[in-house]
Structures are given as structure tokens and as C-alpha cells.
Amino acid sequence: MAERASYDCVVVGSGPGGATVARELARGGARVLVVERGSADPPSGRAGQMLRELFVPRRSAHLTGSVLVLGAATLGGSSMYFFGTAWEPPHDVLAPHGLDLRADADALRTELGPAPLPRELLGPRARIVADAAGSIGLEWAALPKFVDQDRLRRDGLGAYRAARWTAREFVADAVAAGARVATGATVRRVLVSGGTATGVEVAAGSRRVQVRADLVVLAAGGLGSPMLLRTAGIAEAGRDFFYDPVLAVTGSVAGLDAGPEPPMLGAVDRLCDGYLLTDLCRPRWLHNAFTVAAGRPDRVFAYRSSVTVMVKARDLLSGRLTARGGVAKPLIGPDRAVLARGAAQAREILRAAGARAVHQAGYVAVHPGGTAKVGDVVDTDLRTSVPGLYVCDASVIPVAWGMPPTFTVMALGRRLGRHLLGAADALPAKRAGSADRTG
């Protein structure tokens, strides 16, 4: 744990939301501590690390009905495993909720330059899916990616993970600007005194430490932040949320002999019907695990000829987080129906690609959010009813979603950082006061 006892701001969680707001605040001169329950181990690409960070029951993996909900516990949060898709914040959807992210999205776009990969950087699987979709009249549009294309050209398509932006880059920027980071440190509760947030209680190994801060920003993700809000007395957090369930439909294409390649490079946008269809390439061991779980162990050795279409649905707001942080949100009928329609179209694409042995794996969800919605638990400045306590992650998304949320969450983080630095009742005034107190 960092030794200083008092900060201008403690940011809980280092995913896209936490990393972006921490960077903004640190660059603005605030004394920031980022507390992250996961480790800073460098990504190895090995199965063991992925199991440790993404598949630990009741920590990063939650089973509800037939849906496995995942959220990574590591420095950088789920961005360490994300597919790098830079889906533009849907400004028309956000505007009615008082959220104008255009300036922040513009700045991030200028900085990171997300762009679709050109055809020569599509792997063979992505090309097959794109061409097959086109051949049956579906409009397959390339998706912008937070990916360093020069690096992909230099190191090959298998270097996709290393070529992708992750929130660790913004954490490093925050540290360069003076922020501190405590990893392997789990925030247990928000400290509230006289009705105002005054810091957090952190567990690190067997130690419990109280960290004082003028501002507390919860960025512990769609499942983590609502649980911490409840410790601050905000009982309504963690209800009626989305998780964007996903279903993978896979087949084998004769003559295909492909290795790992970038996933999710293009999409058929059927959000008007509640879903997206995209290409998907998983690491071999994960492909194998899902193939066995789908009851098709006979296809385990077909990795190199496999082609997958992912169906990502916009589920209805429903469910709740349990008192112990479990997810109680089984798929309901209308969501199953949307996934079934998407799966039927995915099968059509695979049929057009000449795939055989087509099968589908179980439901997975990697976008939990809407657990502390704008207009419900936080206001448009992401402020809760407890003075000094803010939320900045996928929790605050105000509507049923269905889109990759990372770009939106980053824009929210930049906007909140700017707001806190500029608001007369937030950071600057308090910083002057706390500088006197702590020297």
C-alpha cells in the first residue's frame, strides 16, 4: 500500500473509467491514489494468468442461470482482455440523459487514433465471415479499433494483444504525472463521516488501512461499484442492469488452416433488432474450453479450421446484485428470443461460408453496466447523493446498451476529471485546504 494517508482523490479500480479519470486528475495537479484489487503482472497470454484474472468464481466470474458474467481483476481491468473495439459513444442515445461526451470523445480519438483495420490486416477467419455475410446481402462494416496497426504489420496478426491499447497506458500516464497506484488492494467500504465521503477502507493481504481523501471516485466496474455504493448507504445501486449477453456460433471451413488473429474486426449492426454479429477468434485453449462446454469435444482439434460468429445482444434491464455481490440476472424470455434470432443469422453466415459441424457455445456476458445509472443513482456530473462520492465506469450508463462500452467509459472518465478539476465545490478549493493539512 502507498504510505501517504491522505489524498485529494482516491480512485477505486483501474479499468478504462478509473485510469482515465485518474490520469486527468493527476495531470491537473491533484494528488491521486488508484486502488486496484488485481495485480500488475505483465500480460503473458498464458491460460493460467487468464484463469487467475478472469475466471475466479465470485471474484471475476459469476454464473447466473446459464450466463457466465466476466469482469477482469487486474491492473487495467477488463481492458486487459478486451477486443480493442472503439465503438463511438452513441451521442444521440446519451444526450437525452444530459450526457454530452462529444468534446471528450474527440480528444481521445485524436490522441489514440482508433481506426478500422484495412483488409490486408484482417485474418483469414475475419475475411471469411465478412465475405460470407456480404454474399447473403448482410452489410458487414469494419469496426474502429484501438490498435497500433504498424505494430501488427511488423509483428504479425498473432501480436494483436500487444498491439492493442489498454487502460494500463493511462495508469502509466497518471503515475508519470504523480499519481500513486496500490495493486493487490481491495476496497471494502467507503468511509462516510457527517454524511460526506471521507475516504475508503482498504484490505491488502491481512492488513486493513483507512485512506483519507477529499473525493472518492468509484471505478470498480459494473459489478464492483454498486457494492461499494451500498456500503455508503446507497441501497438502490445494483438493480435492473444490463450485461450484453453473447453467444458464439462456430463451424469448420474445409481447407482453412489459421492461427490466432485479431477478433471482432467487423460487424453486422442489427441493433434495431437488438443485436450485433461479429467475427470472433479466441485463444486456442479458450476455444477448446468452450467447445467442450458446448458438448462438442469432437471439435476440439478443429481450432485451425474453425470460424466463429459472435452474437452480442442488448438485453433488457433486469436482475439485481445479491447482498454478497453475486449476479442474479438469468436470461429472460425476450433476451433469449433476441439471441436466438441472432444465432439463426450467424448460422446463415456460416452456411454461406461453407462451414460444417456448426454448433453454439453457452452464454457469456462481458459488459455488465447500468448498475448506478445517470439520473437514478448519480447525476449528470456522476455525483452520488453522498457529497464527495462519484462513480465513473460502466455502472453509470443510463440505458439498456448492447454496444462495446469502453470508448464511452473513457470519455466519461475524461469528462469527470475535467469537471472535478474545474468545479468550484470539488477539487481545487479542497486541494488548497488539504495541502495545508498534510503538508
Ligand X SMILES: Cc1cc2nc3c(=O)[nH]c(=O)nc-3n(C[C@H](O)[C@H](O)[C@H](O)COP(=O)(O)OP(=O)(O)OC[C@H]3O[C@@H](n4cnc5c(N)ncnc54)[C@H](O)[C@@H]3O)c2cc1C
| Chain residues that interact with ligand X, rule: CB under 6 A | 12-18, 35-38, 70-74, 77-79, 81-85, 87, 186-187, 219-222, 224, 264, 366-367, 393-394, 404-406, 409
| Torsion angle defined by CA atoms of residues 250, 256, 262 and 266, in that order, rounded to the nearest 10 degrees | -70
Task: Select 74 or 360, whichever has its Cβ closest to ligand X.
Answer: 74
Distance CA 45, CA 291 (A): 20
Minimum CB separation of residue 144 from ligand X in Å reads: 10
- Pairing state of beta strands 196-204 and 6-12? unpaired
Start-to-end C-alpha separation, the chain? 20
For residue 151, give the DSSP letter. H
Minimum CB separation of residue 2 from ligand X in Å reads: 13
For residue 117, give the DSSP letter. P
Q: 221, 275, 286, 267: which is closest to 246 by C-alpha?
A: 275
Q: Which three cell numbers stand for residue 256?
A: 482453412
Q: Give the SS3 label for residue 365.
A: strand
Minimum CB separation of residue 58 from ligand X in Å reads: 12
Under 8 Å between Cβ of 328 and 112: no
Task: Select 28 or 84, whichever has its Cβ closest to ligand X.
Answer: 84
Helix (H) or strand (E) holding 69: strand 67-70
Distance CA 330, CA 341 (A): 18
* Alpha carbon separation from 257 to 122, 124, 249, 292, 303 (Å, rounded): 15, 9, 19, 21, 9
Minimum CB separation of residue 296 from ligand X in Å reads: 21
Under 8 Å between Cβ of 73 and 37: yes
| Torsion angle defined by CA atoms of residues 217, 223, 224 and 226, in that order, rounded to the nearest 10 degrees | 60
Task: Select 253 or 394, whichever has its Cβ closest to ligand X.
Answer: 394
Task: Select 77 or 266, whichever has its Cβ closest to ligand X.
Answer: 77
Minimum CB separation of residue 298 from ligand X in Å reads: 26
Distance CA 252, CA 303 (A): 8
Minimum CB separation of residue 320 from ligand X in Å reads: 18
Instruction: Please provide residue 409's backbone torsions phi and psi, each rounded to the nearest 5 degrees.
Output: -65, -40
Minimum CB separation of residue 432 from ligand X in Å reads: 28
Task: Select 83 or 242, whichever has its Cβ closest to ligand X.
Answer: 83
Under 8 Å between Cβ of 318 and 329: yes
Distance CA 200, CA 206 (A): 16
Task: Select 186 or 345, whichever has its Cβ closest to ligand X.
Answer: 186
Task: Select 305 or 406, whichever has its Cβ closest to ligand X.
Answer: 406
Minimum CB separation of residue 53 from ligand X in Å reads: 8
Q: Which three cell numbers stand for residue 345?
A: 443469422
Minimum CB separation of residue 333 from ligand X in Å reads: 26
Closest CB to ligand X belongs to which residue?
15
Task: Select 204 or 316, whichever has its Cβ closest to ligand X.
Answer: 204
Under 8 Å between Cβ of 398 and 242: no
CA angle 108, 112, 118 (to 5 degrees): 130
Minimum CB separation of residue 408 from ligand X in Å reads: 8
Task: Select 61 or 253, whichever has its Cβ closest to ligand X.
Answer: 61
Task: Select 74 or 198, whichever has its Cβ closest to ligand X.
Answer: 74
Task: Select 85 or 308, whichever has its Cβ closest to ligand X.
Answer: 85
Minimum CB separation of residue 145 from ligand X in Å reads: 8
Q: What is the 3-state secondary structure (H, E, C) of 362-383?
A: CEEECCCECCCCECCCECCCCE
Q: 174, 158, 231: which is closest to 16 by C-alpha?
A: 174
